[in-house]
Amino acid sequence: MSVRRRQLGDVVVLDLCGHFYGGRETAVLERVLAEELALGSGALLVNLSECMGMNSIAIGTLFRTHDAFQGRGGSLKFCCAAGRMKSLLAILRAGTLLDQYPSEEEALSAFSHQASA
């Protein structure tokens, strides 16, 4: 498990890799997301292409962070969910609550369109 941070223009991208089942790895995820909030990041993209699974604790962390970003006028989007993660998000009907995109390029484009609106 790991969380890698990249900066693409005004967007911070977090690549989640491995499983997040509520242990140390989820604590790292919570810390990284809290740091982004504290830094005042306005546009955050969570790339799930290498994320193999999450439990309810990790999913709850993502939802809370999404709400916190929206509450302060920021934007948090998700992309590239595949396999188990795609199924899990579909079961949770997360698409109705979270901004999800099939590719990183589409998500980054959505940030651009949002900024110009």
Asked if the structure places residue 104 within a domain, the reply is no
Asked if the structure places residue 111 within a domain, the reply is no
Asked if the structure places residue 84 within a domain, the reply is no
Question: Which band of pLDDT confidence, cut at 50, 70 and 90, is reported for residue 115?
Answer: low
Asked if the structure places residue 37 within a domain, the reply is yes
Asked if the structure places residue 17 within a domain, the reply is yes
Question: Do the Cβ atoms of 103 and 109 come closer than 8 Å?
Answer: no
Question: Model-level pTM?
Answer: 0.91
User: Domain tally for the chain?
Assistant: 1
Instruction: Kindly write down the DSSP assignment for every residue of 70-104, as one continuous string.
Output: HHTT-EEEEE---HHHHHHHHHTTGGGTSEEESSH
Question: Do the Cβ atoms of 20 and 51 come closer than 8 Å?
Answer: yes
Residue-number span of the structural domain to which 68 is assigned: 1-73
Asked if the structure places residue 35 within a domain, the reply is yes
For the segment 57-98, what is each residue's pLDDT rounded down to a tens digit?
A: 999 999 999 999 999 999 999 999 988 888 888 887 776 778
Cα–Cα distance for residue pair 106/117, rounded to 1 Å:
16
- pLDDT, averaged across the chain: 91
Lowest mean pLDDT among 32-36, 62-66, 97-101, 111-115: 111-115
What is the reported pLDDT for 22? Answer: 86
pLDDT at residue 100 is higher than 80: yes
Asked if the structure places residue 92 within a domain, the reply is no
Asked if the structure places residue 105 within a domain, the reply is no
Q: What is the CATH number of the domain that holds 69?
A: 3.30.750.24
